[in-house]
Structures are given as C-alpha cells and as structure tokens.
C-alpha cells in the first residue's frame, strides 16, 4: 500500500472507542497501540499515532481527520480503508467533510474487489483503488484462534502473538 501510493509516511491510528462497538468489547487502547507497534516495526515509513486512544469518548474518523489536518496542514493526506469499510462510508459521521480533507485509498478486502464499489464515492470526489495481495485472515478468525489456544504466529505479525498471549486477549470471546 505505501509503495503503491508512493507514501513517505503512514500513520497507523488504532481506534479509541469505536462508535459501532460496545464499550467493553474492545481491547484496552494501550494494548492495541502496543500490538500495532509490534506489527509495523519493520517499515521505517510506518508510525503509530495515539491520537484516538488518547482522546476521551467515542472515536469518529471525521474528528481524527480534522486533528491530522491541523497537525499537517500542507500534507496530501490519504485515508486508507478496506472495501468492507468503504461500502459503509456514506453512513459514517460527516463523510463529505472527511473527503474535503483527505483522498480515500480503498484496498480489496474479504475477497471483495474495492474497484467494484467505485459508485460509493460522493459526487465530486474520487477514491484510489489499491490492489493488495489477498490474505484470508480476519480479526474474527484471529480472536477465535486465540480463544482456542492455537498458535497465532501464522495469523499475526511477529511479536503481536506474544502480546495477545501475555494479555490473555480474546480468551473469553
């Protein structure tokens, strides 16, 4: 994705409190930040932002986009989403405002070709459709594998499996 879009830097922003999930249904923010750090350590262009996990209350993409735009007023910003999220983009809070600040980069996800969803882009805006190598790994499958006590090294980046095990994540899912 970073190569395809020729990006100098990619901010990975773990969600604070997602608006579509129950408050107790997500792992602690600090642990999710640690897992992202472990997953992206091998690429110098990648960095973690705690913008959402540091902010109280529900996390909405529009608030995050506003904050990043304020921090980087002259940067060309992309919001990278999967086809599954893009399919729901028109239901997000303030999608038109989001598109005033960023360009959408949509990756294939769950066997779905993002480009088939081109009609979901708001009038006057465009999305870049990024072909990606398909990996049939979902967060649901990872949580289920963890709950069953299976070895997670084939499912997640190096180091993330140790954090999941140490924290006992997903064992009660």
Task: Give the CATH number for residue 137.
Answer: 3.40.50.620
Of the pLDDT bands very low, low, confident and very high (cuts 50, 70, 90), residue 137 is: confident
Is the pLDDT confidence value at 118 over 60? no
From 30-39, 87-96, 115-124, the region with the lowest mean pLDDT: 115-124
Q: Residue 79 sits in which domain range? A: 2-167
Is the pLDDT confidence value at 134 over 80? no
Mean pLDDT for 3-20 is: 90
C-alpha pair distances (Å), 57 with each of 23, 31, 62, 63, 116: 10, 18, 14, 11, 34
Residue 104, domain member (yes or no): yes
Residue 159, domain member (yes or no): yes
Of the pLDDT bands very low, low, confident and very high (cuts 50, 70, 90), residue 61 is: very high
Is the pLDDT confidence value at 119 over 80? no
Residue 172, domain member (yes or no): no
Highest mean pLDDT among 63-72, 100-109, 164-173: 63-72
Residue 112, domain member (yes or no): yes
Question: Considering only CA atoms, which of 33, 35, 47 is closest in space to residue 162?
Answer: 35
Of the pLDDT bands very low, low, confident and very high (cuts 50, 70, 90), residue 103 is: very high
Residue 161, domain member (yes or no): yes
Phi, psi of 75 (to 5 degrees): -80, 150
User: How many domains, the chain?
Assistant: 1
Q: Count Cβ atoms below 10 Å from residue 164 Cβ, excluding itself.
A: 22
Residue 70, domain member (yes or no): yes
Mean pLDDT for 3-18 is: 92
The pTM of this model reads: 0.82
Residue with tokens 């070709």: 113
- The angle at the Cα of 157, spanning 156 to 161, to the nearest 5 degrees, equals 60
What's the confidence (pLDDT) of residue 47?
A: 96
Looking at every residue in the chain, the average pLDDT score rounds to 85
What's the confidence (pLDDT) of residue 19?
A: 80
Contacts of 115 (CB under 8 A, 6+ apart): 129
Residue 69, domain member (yes or no): yes
Asked if 1 contacts 132 with a C-beta cutoff of 8 angstroms, the reply is yes
* Terminal alpha carbon distance of the chain: 31
Of the pLDDT bands very low, low, confident and very high (cuts 50, 70, 90), residue 171 is: confident
Residue 173, domain member (yes or no): no
Q: E strands, 83-142, where?
A: 103-107, 127-130
């Amino acid at each position: 994705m970073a190569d395809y879009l020729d990006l100098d830097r990619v901010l990975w922003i773990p969600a604070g409190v997602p608006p579509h999930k129950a408050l107790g249904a997500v792992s602690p923010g600090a642990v999710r930040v640690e897992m992202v750090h472990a997953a992206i350590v091998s690429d110098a262009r990648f960095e973690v932002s705690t913008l959402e996990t540091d902010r109280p209350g529900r996390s909405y993409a529009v608030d995050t986009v506003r904050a990043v735009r304020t921090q980087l007023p002259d940067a060309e910003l992309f919001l990278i989403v999967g086809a599954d999220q893009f399919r729901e983009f028109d239901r997000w809070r303030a999608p038109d405002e989001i598109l005033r600040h960023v360009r959408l980069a949509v990756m294939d996800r769950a066997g779905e070709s993002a480009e088939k969803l081109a009609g979901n882009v708001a009038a006057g805006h465009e999305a870049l459709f990024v072909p990606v190598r398909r990996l049939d790994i979902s967060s649901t499958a990872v949580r289920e594998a963890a709950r069953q006590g299976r070895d997670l090294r084939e499912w997640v980046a190096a180091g993330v499996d140790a954090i999941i095990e140490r924290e006992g994540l997903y064992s009660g899912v």
